[in-house]
Chain A
Amino acid sequence: MVNKHLIVISVEENPELNLEELCHACDVTPEFIHNLIDYGVIEPRGFADENWRFDAEQVRRVRIITRLQHDLEVNIAGAALVLDLMDQMEKMRSRLELFDRYFK
């Protein structure tokens, strides 16, 4: 069934999330986020829980970690390592593309 209607909506470019919003966005518990912070996988701004602010980039990271945990049985330390390697790979991939274009 196709139901089409057009809505014009505003977009938040660099949203900052508090702990509750981050948990809601990623469907995880605050304890899980505490754990990720202990492992240095994500970094909040601010000190106490209620003052923590997370940039939206963390939503992507947390969701990748939960998927890796669920689908591949990776633990948090392992998932953190995968994330770091993925970041490095992303950089290397654009360098490689540049290299390939330079040396045709």
Chain B
Amino acid sequence: MEYKDYYEVMGVSRTASPDDIKRSYRKLARKYHPDVSKEANAEEKFKEVQEAYEVLKDPKKREAYDQLGSQWKSGQEFRPPPGWQGFGDFGAGGGGGASFEGVDLGGFSDFFESFFGSRGGHAPRSRQQHAHREFHMRGSDQHAKIGITLEEAYNGGAKSVHLQTQEVDAQGHVQHKTRTLKINIPKGVVPGQQLRLSQQGAPGMGGAPAGDLFLEIEILPHHLFTLEGHDVYINLPITPWEAALGSKINVPTLGGPVDMKIAPNSQGGQKLRLKGRGLTSKTQPGDQYVLLQIMTPPAETESQRELYEKMAQEMPYNPRQHFSQ
């Protein structure tokens, strides 16, 4: 397993005070919090920081970790000495409960677990305590995210979803399982939308029903379209004559190309609407907006330059008139 340099993760020295460690944790937690941060690998970074803090904030764990000495380097292959049992007394995290968190299990590294025991995933704290007291208890609800393409959101349809669960058995061993669910994505789903899969969460206890599974929709970036709520936007580059004379242009939409009429004397930046061509769901309509972008044909030959000069004479036009008002 890989050695983890918790001091390096926290950006503090080995002699840092508890206050220094706390300050550094708060700063890094804000920077990498997956709900807030748009840093690459925010989630992974955040987990590393949490793991490091879990050890360094606790004087007993920190002391145990420090006993390994400072000769180790981050990422170095770490082999515990023969007969090593970890630090034993830290106790495995609560039993029972499974956790879905997308593909990620949300647990700490092997390095952490070999020393301090498993945390048993992210099973909700309060619920675990209840679970020991009550014999009949509905399983906890679970949450996962699924990334789909814009086309999948538009069309809806069947999709296989792979979910990883982490379950702690009666002996306290953590078991990793992969479950494949085939679900029907409804038409017109949008980012952040929650789909509920009844009784697909954690199993219940004492014959009580399983919890529900909530799937949060994420939509992957598209090379042509930008999404805003249920509406999609596209830039449409056109020539000056298509804009000035009016034209019919074949425009891509999520449901396939359609012919769109450009009125004579259209301008760049104008927004045209194709009704119902966005992410239309059962309850919410979505439109497609087309932004006109007028492209200037390059004047490369003598006759092309003459044409532009002729235009300048024939149609004097000042697009900057509003500057002098």
Contact B182 A6, beta carbon cutoff 8 Å: yes
CB distance from B137 to the nearest CB of A (A): 11
Q: Which of B12-20, B194-202, B239-247 contacts A (4 or more CB under 8 A)?
A: B194-202
Size of A's binding interface in residues, CB under 8 A = 38
Chain A residue with minimal CB distance to B191?
A90
Q: How many Å from the CB of A93 to the closest CB on chain B? A: 9
Do residues A59 and B124 form an inter-chain contact, with CB atoms below 8 A?
Answer: no
A27 and B283 contacting across the interface, CB-CB below 8 Å: no
Contact of B291 among A7, A10, A94, A98 (CB under 8 A): A98
Within 8 A of A (CB), among B145-181: 160, 175-181
Q: Within the assembled complex, what's the spacing in Å between the Cα atoms of A52 and B133?
A: 29
Is the CB–CB distance between A98 and B180 below 8 Å?
no
B83 to chain A, nearest CB (A): 27
Q: Which of B179, B182, B235 lies in contact with A102, CB distance below 8 A?
A: B235
Total number of B residues with any Cβ neighbor in A under 8 Å: 53
Q: Which residues of the other chain, A, contact B193 by a CB distance below 8 angstroms?
A: 56-57
Cβ contact within 8 Å between B177 and A10: no
The residue from A3, A9, A57, A68 contacting B33, defined by CB atoms under 8 A apart: A68
CB distance from B33 to the nearest CB of A (A): 6
Say yes or no: is B192 at the interface (Cβ < 8 Å to chain A): yes
A42 contacts chain B at the CB level, 8 A cutoff: no
User: Is residue B184 contacting chain A, with contact meaning CB distance below 8 A?
Assistant: yes
> Is B29 engaged at the interface, CB distance under 8 Å to the other chain?
yes
Q: Note all chain B residues with C-beta closer than 8 A to A60.
A: 192, 194, 216
Q: 1/0 per position for A1-15, CB-CB distance to B under 8 A? A: 111111111111111
Find A71's partner among B33, B214, B283 (CB 8 Å cutoff).
B33
Q: Chain A interface (Cβ within 8 Å of chain B)?
A: 1-15, 24-25, 27, 56-57, 59-60, 63-64, 67-68, 71-73, 82, 86, 91, 94-95, 97-98, 101-102
Q: Can you offer 15 A-B residue contacts whose CB atoms are under 8 A? A: A2-B178, A3-B177, A4-B180, A9-B181, A10-B184, A11-B183, A11-B184, A13-B281, A57-B194, A59-B214, A63-B143, A72-B33, A82-B35, A82-B36, A94-B233
